[in-house]
């Protein structure tokens, strides 16, 4: 039951990641009456908290290795309180209240994520590359299941008669899920922690971890852009009313189904070679999305399948590679994953900060009739810009060392 419990904890955390960025712009604009530009600015400002907080969280986890269960409980309780508060906010709620709740949620998410990833060597049955990749497959499979669940839940609640676009019920559901997860996953945090030496800029560089950190940041930007703009692209550009939820589920189901396949392939031919197969599939998907016109449901569904499968490789392989280089170098993984966590969330925040005000200036208005210029701007931000960034990430992958997997 060790790895399934890891999957469940990752599932719980997933709701405070990409799904929150998917739902928050629409929830804030429609339910709270807060503009897209304001939301983009709020999300970037909160990242300034993470700039200091995430590395400190990683340092604290390494400083007090015996407090794993306490840290895991604090993360779960923060989500259990924060989600009902956020999605229960009434219309006209102040931006200050929104910021305070988001800080609570993102702090809990940071704590749980850094703990889960930083304890990879502890949670794996053996601290070798193959077992770390197997652990990663369970962890990322759970995370993607959580993304599908959280991305689709509001629509399901609406189908059952929930009010407010399903968001108040959604918040209560996520709060209950966090409490249940804490109870079920308690045993995994009682394992004896495996720790290492303190990290430094030099140590990260010599181990190869610093290069992977830069790659993770650049590679997070395309997914961040598409996640932030997915609902707008489907409903306003493609005019596929009511299809955003099913298409989003299709994307993440494809990613989740591909994770064990990419993990096995990586253990067979190596992580770099696996990424060299997967990343061009993602690039082709962005190009395909840029060519679509209104009503092209089948074509976009195929793009969701392809791009989801490509994303599955990034999600499982890059963190596992990071864990392997840290373990080999004997470095404290939690502190390093504190920096890794900040890099990933910075990507999401930068996407929101630059694209949401850009759309607002172009005259784009969700759910309304939009000009050709506004829709072209949306297409550029959703498909063309991510394609350029993904090409940059692919170029970095080509420079990584080639490893021959152990037979």
For the chain (407 residues), the mean pLDDT of every run of 10, in chain order, is 93 86 81 82 79 86 92 97 93 88 93 92 86 90 89 85 86 96 96 79 84 90 86 90 84 90 92 94 95 94 95 90 86 82 75 82 83 90 93 94 63
pLDDT of 28: 85
Alpha helices (runs of H) in 66-166, residue ranges in sequence order: 68-87, 95-118, 120-123, 129-159
Is residue 404 assigned to a domain? no
Tell me how many domains the chain contains.
1
Is residue 107 assigned to a domain? yes
Is residue 379 assigned to a domain? yes
What is the chain's alpha carbon radius of gyration, rounded to the nearest angstrom? 20
| Backbone angle region of 296, left / alpha / beta, with phi > 0 → left and psi within -120 to 50 → alpha | beta
Residue 207 and residue 343 in contact, taking contact as beta carbons nearer than 8 Å? no
Is the CA virtual torsion 211, 214, 217, 220 positive or negative? negative
CATH number at 213 reads 1.20.1250.20
Is residue 407 assigned to a domain? no
CA distance readout (Å), 194 to 6, 69, 133, 197, 327: 16, 15, 17, 11, 10
Is residue 22 assigned to a domain? yes
Structural domain boundaries, residue 72:
2-398
Burial class (CB in 10 A: 0-12, 13-18, 19+), 330: exposed
Residue 216 and residue 397 in contact, taking contact as beta carbons nearer than 8 Å? no
Q: How far apart are the first and last CA of the chain?
A: 27
Among 220, 405, 249, CA closest to 321: 405
pLDDT of 333: 79
Is residue 155 assigned to a domain? yes
Contacts 24+ apart (CB under 8 A), 355-364: 355/40, 355/225, 355/228, 355/229, 355/381, 356/25, 356/36, 356/37, 356/39, 356/40, 356/228, 357/36, 357/37, 357/40, 357/41, 359/36, 359/229, 359/232, 360/35, 360/36, 360/37, 364/232, 364/236
pLDDT of 405: 58
Give dist(CA 112, CA 279) in Å, integer.
Answer: 28
Give dist(CA 201, CA 118) in Å, integer.
Answer: 17
Is residue 353 assigned to a domain? yes
Is residue 405 assigned to a domain? no
Residues 6+ positions from 85 with CB-CB distance below 8 Å = 101, 104, 171
pLDDT of 407: 47
């Amino acid at each position: 039951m060790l790895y399934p419990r890891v999957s469940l904890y990752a599932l719980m955390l997933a709701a405070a990641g990409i799904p929150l960025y998917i739902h928050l712009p629409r929830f804030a604009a429609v339910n709270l009456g807060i503009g897209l530009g304001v939301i983009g600015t709020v999300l970037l400002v909160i990242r300034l908290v993470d700039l200091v907080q995430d590395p400190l969280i990683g340092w604290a986890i390494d400083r007090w290795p015996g407090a794993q269960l306490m840290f895991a409980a604090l993360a779960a309780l923060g989500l259990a309180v924060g989600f009902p508060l956020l999605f229960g906010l009434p219309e006209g709620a102040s931006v200050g209240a929104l910021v305070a709740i988001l800080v609570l949620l993102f702090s809990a998410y940071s704590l749980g994520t850094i703990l889960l990833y930083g304890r990879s060597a502890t949670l794996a049955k053996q601290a070798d590359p193959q077992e770390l990749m197997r652990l990663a497959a369970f962890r990322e499979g759970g995370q993607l299941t959580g993304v599908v669940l959280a991305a689709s839940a509001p629509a399901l609640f609406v189908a059952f008669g929930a009010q407010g676009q399903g968001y108040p019920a959604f918040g209560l559901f996520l709060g209950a899920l966090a409490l249940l997860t804490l109870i079920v996953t308690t045993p995994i945090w009682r394992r004896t922690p495996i720790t290492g030496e303190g990290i430094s800029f030099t140590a990260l560089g010599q181990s190869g971890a610093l290069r992977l950190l830069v790659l993770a940041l650049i590679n997070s930007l395309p997914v961040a852009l598409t996640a932030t703009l997915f609902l707008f692209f489907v409903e306003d550009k493609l005019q596929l009313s009511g299809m955003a939820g099913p298409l989003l589920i299709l994307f993440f189901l494809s990613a989740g189904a591909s994770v064990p396949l990419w993990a096995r392939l990586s253990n067979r031919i190596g992580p770099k070679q696996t990424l060299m197969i997967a990343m061009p599939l993602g690039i082709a998907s962005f190009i395909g999305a840029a060519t679509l016109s209104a009503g092209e449901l089948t074509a976009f569904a195929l793009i969701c399948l392809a791009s989801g499968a490509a994303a599955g490789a990034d999600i499982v392989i890059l963190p596992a590679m990071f864990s392997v280089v840290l373990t080999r170098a004997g470095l404290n993984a939690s502190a390093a994953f504190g920096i890794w966590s900040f890099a990933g969330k910075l990507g999401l925040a930068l996407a929101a900060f630059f694209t949401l005000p850009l759309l607002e200036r172009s005259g784009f208005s969700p759910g309304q009739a939009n000009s050709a210029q506004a829709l072209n701007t949306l297409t550029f931000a959703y498909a063309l810009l991510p394609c350029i960034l993904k090409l940059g990430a692919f170029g970095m992958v080509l420079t990584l060392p080639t490893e021959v997997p152990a037979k």
